[in-house]
Amino acid sequence: MMVNTSTIEKLGSNITLLILTVLLYNCTNAGKIDFSTDYLKIQISKGGFITSMQNIGKEPHREFSPLDKPSPLMQLYDGKKKVYYAPVSAKFSEEGQAITLSYSNGSVAQVIVTTEEKYLKFTLQSLAPRNGIDGIQWGPYHTKITNLFGEIIGVARDTSEAVNYAIGVLALDDNTLGGTSETVADAAPFQYIIHSPDPELYPLPNSLHEGQIFNLGGNGISDVAFYAHKEPYYRIMYGNSALVDEKGRISINYHSRDRTFEREVYYSLIPNMAANTPNHLEVQPLPGVDYIGSSIALWGSPDSTALMDVIQDIVLQEGLPFPTINGKWVKDPTAFVPDAFTSGNLNDSIISYTSRLGFTTISLYDQGFLKPDRGNDGYIDGKNFEHKPIKLTSGNKSHKEFSEMAAKYGISIGRTPITNSLAPGTKDASPLPSDSLCYQQKRLLAKSISPTDTIIIVDDPTHLEEIASWEGHAKNLNMIKIGKELIYYLGVSEEEPYRLLNVKRGYWETMATSHPSNDTIYKLQVTLNYGYDGLIPNMQLQDKIAEYYADVCFINGLGYYDFDGQEFLFNNGHGYYSAKRFFRKMFERAATLGIPPIRFTGATLSEGSWHYQSIWNVGGGKNLYDVDTREWGSTTSQGKDLRDVTYANFFPVGMGVNFPVNSQSTVEQYEHIQAISVGVGTTYSLVLNQKDVESCPQKEAIFKAIRTWEDARAANAFPRSVKKLLADPERNWTLQKGENEDTWVLHELKDGKTNKTFVLHGGESHQAH
């Protein structure tokens, strides 16, 4: 449509606005409306459904909305009735910037639409009357895409050369979460789903169908044993922001919840395993945390450039977390870098090794777990740094002293905490437990007790027979809190008067005291055993623990954490919201203290941590990547499973704690490791035991080879076409520094001789992923 500008200038303001609206939003006579970005055009019907999603970045405009599955722009959810309400009508404002959605339950929603160059922003402005609605869901947005699905951040990806397109959603506020409104406790079940990314290459057997759900393997206790299927069509699920239907088509959904009232959930992250059956949990109300204001970015773009062109643009424009390393966004593939992982607690040369390798972080894993203990005010080595746990031949060092030595080489140091697990003997756990602990159930003491009484009568036995946390159901952690006393018990009588069984008073070295009748009994929410033993804080105390971790970094010079037990952030029933809030508090405190963004890995990856988390090096050895057999997990399917999850969600693939340098190590092994690392887009934690490293005859050549690859990666020297070749584990490579600055020569080897040569140049703009 052509519009003469001189004519526009002569028209009244109302007519001008109408013409511009038609140009921008293209309202049709049928009451439908179009919204467009640089790459995506969607159409919303007068019924409030998205009926078209087109790639307008190239001709012809490919349609991605299934004809038989229009997508509700926003649904309402009644949690008590477990009923969704899709819109029945949509009215568009004259300017096209607001949509009024009406629903069969009588609710009316106002949604504000903002059209940006690379995404569409939808924000719920109001909903009235609520009529029992305690949650809203954006979507599901159904697509025709059947290739890769990112269940953590919500993305459908067709990575083929012919299509090369992705459609996704990002939450723009903390209380909008990836997943569906019916997700129990806002953390999706950990399980397998059947989906073939390519039916021709990986056809499903007749016994399986797309979208079929399976439990994890193992006994539910050993996390390695969870990963039980090497078949490429068994896709492990770390969220439900994206799902597949019976035809393998991918849908995307986000939701937001009213958290201001108390509710009960029956929750387990792995609900179908005997070792991890759900517990009933009273979820803490959070005043002011509501679904009004929920906001998302809907985007579509070429898949090959989506991360750095579109997702990064959304993150920056909307002020989402943007942690950096060496000045680059941590999601930028040129910022991916392995870490040094200490073993043996002899550290004379660890800083030197790390610097020569081109790495930027030393994970001091041999120092054991770092337990959150606010009693030390963040001084993990004492107020005067008098403790010296880091061993050097020349004299042991405190964390602060060692961090100052490492900082001279641009290297940070880090520790492995047990996230929010409040261990016995720490300030908030014992001997004076905090009054801000998370509890599963709250009851009343039916009869007063003395310090020596073991007959504890409760007013209501409901759910008190459940054992501790959902995770492992550790009997030794089954306890209640009355006043400032922790009391162990196991079981409850079946007949009145209902009394707790197997009682032990003054548990965890708390003081047994008298308690009057009608005193409050809190059945505490806990973690699991195996050294992780601890209590879960409520949300306000968890905020303080998050800030504590930033204080520890500031005081002791740390810049890295490996959050073991990261799933404990879900244990309060607020799921991904809890994780987002925890990391936001930690990062905001770090910014206030003037320290760089804290780089971290952890035991899991979720929509709640995706923006903040730098890497995900969980597990290790032959479970992740076996350099000898050149496969992603030779002993279990963990490597394959975690590779598929991270790659599909635009996140660095982790190769785990791996590849120790020892007397048997060869240069060829590390050339291969680095080729895979660059080709797929991975990081790993390189095990460095000083005695073992010094026993390696090829140590210097190995260090040089790794550094060459890392320098080239950081310089963005690998084009997408070369990365595809490097990702093939059957190929062999060696990389050499070129004669000119920012130049490298890559040789493909066959039978030990050069087969092909590629001259690589740094600083070039290559397509990522």
Q: 710-729 pLDDT, tens per residue?
A: 999 999 999 999 999 999 99
Q: What is the pLDDT of residue 19?
A: 34
- Whether the predicted pLDDT of 100 surpasses 50: yes
Q: pLDDT of 489-531, one tens digit each?
A: 999 999 999 999 999 999 999 999 999 999 999 999 999 999 9
* pLDDT more than 70, % of the chain: 95
Lowest mean pLDDT among 179-193, 258-272, 410-424, 751-765: 751-765
Q: What is the pLDDT of residue 763?
A: 84
What's the CA gap between 184 and 403, in Å, rounded?
A: 42
Q: pLDDT of 438-465, one tens digit each?
A: 999 999 999 999 999 999 999 999 999 9
Three-class DSSP category at 180: coil
Q: pLDDT of 210-235, one tens digit each?
A: 999 999 987 767 777 889 999 999 99
- Radius of gyration in angstroms for the set of CA atoms belonging to the chain, rounded to a whole number: 28
Helix axes 539-556, 575-593, angle to 10 degrees: 40
Q: Is 416 exposed, middle or buried (0-12, 13-18, 19+ CB in 10 A)?
A: buried
Whether the Cβ atoms of residue 622 and residue 583 lie closer than 8 Å to each other: no
For residue 758, the 8-state DSSP code is E
What's the CA gap between 113 and 36, in Å, rounded?
A: 11
Q: What is the pLDDT of residue 765?
A: 56
* pLDDT more than 90, % of the chain: 92
pLDDT confidence band for 48 (50 / 70 / 90): very high
Q: What is the pLDDT of residue 691?
A: 98
Whether the Cβ atoms of residue 610 and residue 663 lie closer than 8 Å to each other: no
Give the number of other CB atoms < 10 A from CB of residue 92: 19
- Average pLDDT value for residue range 735-755: 95
- Average pLDDT value for residue range 609-638: 96
pLDDT confidence band for 433 (50 / 70 / 90): very high
Whether the Cβ atoms of residue 61 and residue 121 lie closer than 8 Å to each other: no
Q: What is the pLDDT of residue 682?
A: 97
What pTM was computed for the model? 0.94
Q: What is the pLDDT of residue 30?
A: 57
Q: What is the pLDDT of residue 224?
A: 79
What's the CA gap between 195 and 235, in Å, rounded?
A: 6
Residue of 740 and 122 predicted with greater confidence: 122
Task: Using the structure block, give the residue that is written with the tokens 């810049």.
Answer: 559
Q: What is the pLDDT of residue 766?
A: 52
Q: pLDDT of 247-283, one tens digit each?
A: 999 999 999 999 999 999 999 999 988 889 999 999 9
- Whether the predicted pLDDT of 299 surpasses 70: yes
Q: pLDDT of 135-156, one tens digit each?
A: 999 999 999 999 999 999 999 9
Taking CA atoms, 470 is separated from 276, 277, 527, 530, 582, in Å, by 5, 6, 8, 15, 21
What's the CA gap between 758 and 675, in Å, rounded?
A: 14
Helix axes 399-407, 350-357, angle to 10 degrees: 30
- Average pLDDT value for residue range 424-437: 98
What's the CA gap between 304 and 688, in Å, rounded?
A: 35
- Average pLDDT value for residue range 36-53: 98
- Whether the predicted pLDDT of 3 surpasses 70: no
Tokens of 210: 């797309």
Q: Which amino acid is it at 656?
A: G
Question: Looking at 15-128, which runs of residues are DSSP E strands?
Answer: 33-36, 40-44, 49-55, 62-63, 71-72, 75-78, 83-85, 87-92, 98-103, 108-115, 120-128
> What contacts 24+ positions apart, CB below 8 Å, involve 208-216?
208/233, 209/246, 210/244, 210/245, 210/246, 210/247, 210/248, 211/243, 211/244, 211/245, 211/246, 211/248, 215/191, 215/270, 215/272, 215/273, 216/190, 216/191, 216/192, 216/270, 216/273
The strand pairing partners of 747, in sequence order, are 734, 757
What's the CA gap between 524 and 480, in Å, rounded?
A: 6
Tokens of 202: 């990986």
Residue spans of alpha helices (H) in 606-719: 638-648, 667-676, 690-694, 699-714
Taking CA atoms, 612 is separated from 230, 579, 581, in Å, by 30, 10, 11
Taking CA atoms, 524 is separated from 329, 436, 497, 508, 567, in Å, by 39, 11, 22, 13, 17
- Mean of all residue pLDDT scores within the chain: 94
- Average pLDDT value for residue range 339-346: 97
- Average pLDDT value for residue range 29-33: 71
The gap from C-alpha 667 to its chain's centroid, in whole angstroms, comes to: 34
What phi and psi values does residue 682 have, to the nearest 5 degrees? -125, 165
Q: What is the pLDDT of residue 767?
A: 47
pLDDT confidence band for 31 (50 / 70 / 90): confident
Q: pLDDT of 173-207, one tens digit each?
A: 999 999 999 999 999 999 999 999 999 999 999 99
What's the CA gap between 105 and 128, in Å, rounded?
A: 11
What's the CA gap between 486 and 522, in Å, rounded?
A: 10
